[in-house]
Amino acid sequence: MEDEPAVRRLTSRVLERRGYRVLTAAHGREALRLWQEAQGQVQVLVTDIVMPGGLTGQELATRLQGEAPGLKVILMSGYAVDATGRPLQIPEGQVFMQKPISPRELLEAVARALEGLGRPPPFPNPRAAVYSGPTPTRHAWHAHAHCRPILLDGQWITPKSKVLRPILNPATTEQVGLAADCAREDVHFACEAAARAQPGWWAIPGVEKAKLLREVGARIRAADKELATLMARETGKLLIEAIDEIEWVAAPHEYYAECGRRSFGNSIPPVAPHQVNFTIKEPYGVVAAIVPFNFPLLLLAWKLAPALAAGNTVVAKPPHQETSLATLLMARCLAALPPPGGERHHRRPRDGRTAGAGPHGGPHRLHRPSRPAGAWRRRRAASSRR
């Protein structure tokens, strides 16, 4: 049961391609009618929690399980808390999955429900746990022509983990390619390399930085069709929407290039004749950029361009859902920037848990002492909760 027509059609198509018979409903009344017509043949209920028409997904699930205790229930929602801000209470015998959910995650959840294997791996990244392909060896790594290496310290290298992750088209479940999952050592190396590169990048005059950032924007525009096509395959976006996004991806580099040229300090009137008071703007140092899934390249550009223009270097984490290949392709457009590539680090975490950051990715990166911007953000977040 899903009230959004596009999501309802896609969910039905994904399940039917795997041989399941699917009954779709847009609201609770329609779901109850289909339940009565099916006469006990329904084995799994997949429903959004927040539904129109006065009958929520949880209320429907409780009612149907009262009639058929063996019914498996998969609840979905974009929120993990209720209207009062408290965590959702999921009854025994029901499974909760937080949106966005990839086709593979949905198929795994349905298969486990039917097989009685219990709850699927916790959202948002069960795929690393359920991927059944063989663990690549050093030899197997180089045999994968469609696998992209990671960009660290201005070089395309093999990550320490040598673990590959399939990137799927969410609309068709077709495999687009393979991306690397990084180990903790890769994260540390990226942070240290970015810290080493930052003083040299800061020392480049603002006019020269502006020239380099404009060149990055020009290279992104030159590769717009390739970037848009790959991003559309990874995210399931319409191609026309992806093409429009690439135009916006190039624009921040050009905008902040000019802002960087005009970043002035202030002269403050002295209180004594022998004093000279003025302010100088200095960069934080190394910035960790954690990118969400909905506009992956655009939101990366919004983080990347101003940080670079201000003299910072950046360690970027693409969204864990998909889009790693498009992000790595965009990284090639940053070749205009001078090596070593501390400001050009694009990588994937090995695992993704909270807000797309995994135990081998975001938390390690943000808690390392060379992350002043991350430390500042944590202090602000802590003070805002008091």
d(CA 354, CA 45): 27
Model confidence band, residue 251 (pLDDT cutoffs 50, 70, 90): very high
Query: Averaged over 166-188, what is the pLDDT?
Result: 81
d(CA 110, CA 235): 22
Strands (E), the chain: 44-48, 72-77, 94-98, 147-148, 150-152, 155-157, 163-168, 175-181, 267-268, 277-278, 286-290, 313-317, 345-346
Structure confidence at residue 305 as a pLDDT band (50, 70, 90): very high
In this predicted structure, the answer to whether residue 250 has a pLDDT above a threshold of 90 is: yes
| Predicted confidence (pLDDT) at residue 341 exceeds the cutoff of 60 | no
Q: Is the pLDDT of residue 303 over 90?
A: yes
* pLDDT higher at 255 or 356: 255
Residue 230's nearest CA partner among 249, 206, 258, 203 is 249
Q: What is the DSSP letter of 280?
A: -
pLDDT tens, position by position, 147-160: 557 777 777 777 77
* Residue 248 pLDDT level (bands cut at 50, 70, 90): very high
Of 349 and 114, the structure prediction assigns the larger pLDDT to 114
- Pairwise CA distance, residues 364 & 187, whole Å: 8
The mean predicted confidence, pLDDT, of the chain is 75
Beta-carbon contacts of residue 210 (< 8 Å; ≥ 6 apart):
257, 258, 260, 261, 309
Share of the chain above pLDDT 90, in %: 15
**Residue 284 contacts residue 372 (beta carbons within 8 Å):** yes
Range picked from 114-128, 143-157, 214-228 for highest mean pLDDT? 214-228
**pLDDT at position 145:** 43
pLDDT over 70 for what percent of the chain? 76
The residue-averaged pLDDT of 209-216 equals 91
Give the residue-averaged pLDDT of 220-230: 91
- pLDDT attached to residue 263: 73
| Residue 255 banded pLDDT, cuts 50, 70, 90 | very high
Enter the DSSP assignment of 86: P
How many residues does this entry show for the chain? 386
pLDDT higher than threshold 60 for residue 354:
no
Q: What is the mean pLDDT of the segment spanning 376-386?
A: 50
Least confident range from 26-30, 76-80, 129-133, 221-225: namely: 129-133
Q: Is the pLDDT of residue 133 over 60?
A: no
Mean pLDDT on 331-353: 51
At residue 253, what is the residue type?
Answer: H
- The more confidently predicted of residues 265 and 7 is 7
- What are residue 13's DSSP bridge partners? none
As a whole number, mean pLDDT of residues 47-59 equals 83
322 and 170 Cβ atoms separated by less than 8 Å:
yes
Supply the pLDDT for residue 373. Answer: 54
What confidence tier does 124 reach under pLDDT thresholds 50, 70, 90?
A: very low
- Across 369-384, average pLDDT: 50
**What pLDDT shows up at residue 273?**
86
Minimum mean pLDDT range among 85-99, 249-263, 277-291:
85-99
pLDDT for residue 322 is more than 80: no
pLDDT beyond 50 at 267: yes
The whole-number average pLDDT for the span 308-319 is 89
Q: Residue type for 52, please? A: P
Given this model, what pLDDT does residue 195 score?
92
Q: Which residues contact 163 (CB under 8 A, 6 or more apart)?
A: 135, 136, 180, 181, 183, 350
Residue 274 vs residue 374, higher pLDDT: 274
Q: What is the mean pLDDT of residues 317-332?
A: 81
Domains belonging to the chain, first-starting first, are 5-123 (3.40.50.2300), 138-384 (3.40.605.10)
Band of pLDDT at residue 215, cut at 50, 70 and 90: very high
**What interhelical angle do 224-235 and 296-309 show, nearest 10?**
130
The predicted pLDDT at position 92 comes to 77
Can you tell me whether residue 201 is helix, strand or coil?
Answer: helix
Sequence-separated (6 or more) residues with CB below 8 Å from residue 263: 206, 281, 309, 310
Between 129 and 208, the more confident residue is: 208
β 72-77/94-98 pair status: parallel
Q: What is the CA 39 to chain-centroid distance, rounded?
A: 42
